[in-house]
Structure 1
Amino acid sequence: MDTYRVTGPRHVAGAAPGDVVELDPRRVNVAALLAAGHIAPVPAKGKRREHADQSGQGVAE
C-alpha cells in the first residue's frame, strides 16, 4: 500500500486532515482523491547520504 497525507478538509479512510494514511488502490479510488486535492503522496523514506568533508568528518546531505 502507498502512503498519503490528507490535504483536504475532510477525513479520508479514518484519517484527519494533516494525518498520514496508507491507502489500497484496489479498495479506494486514489486517482480521484489525488485529482480532487484530498490527498498528496508522501515520498518513501530513503537512506541519508553522507560524504566526507575536508576534515574527514561525515556530513549529511
Structure 2
Amino acid sequence: MKEQIIYKNKQLEDAEEQLKRAQANLTEAKRRQSADKRKAENHHKYIMGGLCVKYLDDAYLYEEGDF
C-alpha cells in the first residue's frame, strides 16, 4: 500500500493559521455579543422590578392562592 505524504508549504500553513484565528475571533465576538445582550436584559429586568416594587408594592402583598 502506498502511503500518502502531505507536504504543506508556508502559504498553506499561514492560511490555516489565519483561519484558526478568524474562527477564534468569531467565537469571541459572538460570546461578547451574547454577554452584552444578557447584561442589557438583566438591567431592564432589575429596573422594571424596582419600578414594580416602588409603584405597585401592593401587588407583592398577595399570595398566589389569593388569586
TM-score range, shorter chain: under 0.3
TM-score normalised per structure 2 = 0.19
Higher strand proportion: 1
Higher helix proportion: 2
TM-score normalised per structure 1 = 0.20
Task: Please tell me whether Structure 1 or Structure 2 has the larger radius of gyration of its CA atoms.
Answer: 2
